Amino acid sequence: MVSVPAAPPEPVPVSTKISWQPVAWFGALLILCYAPILYRMGVQWATDENMGHGFFVPLVAGYIAWKRRDQLLATPRKSNGWGLFLVIFAGLEAFAATLGAELFTARLAFVIALFGVILYLGGTAWIRVLLFPLILLLFMIPIPAIIYASLTLRLQILASQLGEILISMMGIPVLRSGNTLTLPSQTLDIAEACSGIRSLLSLGFLSLVYAYFADKRVWMRWALLIATVPIAIGANGIRVAVTGWLSEINTSLAQGAFHETEGYIVFVVALLALIVTHRILSSAAKKWSTR
């Protein structure tokens, strides 16, 4: 009777054991060193309506990173010395910001330092696993003041131009001068708060998060992010037009709580437009792949 050797057991995926002591040590040092910068950024989230989404960014990014913990454990860890270089560079950048540089520089330094810590502890393999939540963290940083001012002005002009076109299509006489619309009932000034910058920033963040959970294709995330620009501009132009139309019915409907509620409704419409855009792109990609 011939004995047949047993088949070798199937290989079991190796889970890399992580030493949490250096992770906790570097994490504590990072928070301690950047605590003043993080505190001031948190204050701006609470006081600047354009950055209200800032509170959700680290929570969502942290949740996505936690969801990837099994993948991280299964990824071989190889320390990369360039990570320490990034940590030192970020520290010098943050120090330069305290001497009068743009606040954006100091806040960006925190993300760079976090990137460097991960690179040093786990190497490029860890960076690949955590790259998306790291990119998401950029949305918690208010954009530089000079870019913000230039972008806001352009959005104000675009909103007033689109609003003028839509109001005229409603049969309401309107005269535009810069970012001011003159109607029979009153004059509408497209202020900075009505430029659409708030919805553009929030919608951009939500587009990436939505695409991450609703679609596994990486290209779809960036396609939807790009789509948020015309969607936000169009939604804000519609808001201006609706405000003008309501002001002809009753001027009080274009002010105060009514105006704020109108903004929330238009933002929801923009979110629905984003979902519809995703469906259209997904359907087009499916048809293209079957050719």
Q: How does pLDDT run across 89-130, given as a tens digit for each residue?
A: 999 988 887 776 567 888 999 999 999 999 998 899 999 999
Burial string for 160-198 (b: 16+ CB within 10 Å, else e) reads: bbbbbebbeeeebebebeebebebeeeebebeeebbbbb
What pLDDT does 193 receive? 59
Average pLDDT of span 48-66: 91
- What's the domain count of the chain? 2
What pLDDT does 15 receive? 46
The predicted-structure confidence for 179-236, as pLDDT tens digits, reads as follows: 888 888 778 777 665 667 778 889 999 999 999 999 989 999 999 999 999 998 888 8
Residues 173, 128 share a domain: no
What span, in angstroms and rounded, lies between the C-alpha atoms of 231 and 274? 7
Of 122, 142, 162, the residue at which a domain comes to its end is 142
Q: Is the pLDDT reported for residue 79 higher than 50? A: yes
Percent of the chain with pLDDT over 90: 37
Residues 31, 95 share a domain: yes
Who wins on pLDDT, 66 or 248? 66
50 neighbors 198 (Cβ within 8 angstroms) = yes
Percent of the chain with pLDDT over 70: 89
Q: 41: domain range? A: 20-142
Q: Average pLDDT of the chain?
A: 84
Of 117, 142, 167, the residue at which a domain comes to its end is 142
The predicted model scores a pTM of 0.82
What pLDDT does 96 receive? 83
Using CA atoms, how far residue 289 sits from 93, 99, 223, in Å, is 46, 55, 17
What pLDDT does 5 receive? 46
Residues 82, 130 share a domain: yes
Average pLDDT of span 132-158: 88
What is the band of 2 on the pLDDT scale with cuts at 50, 70, 90? very low
Of 142, 167, 182, the residue at which a domain comes to its end is 142
Residues 247, 150 share a domain: yes
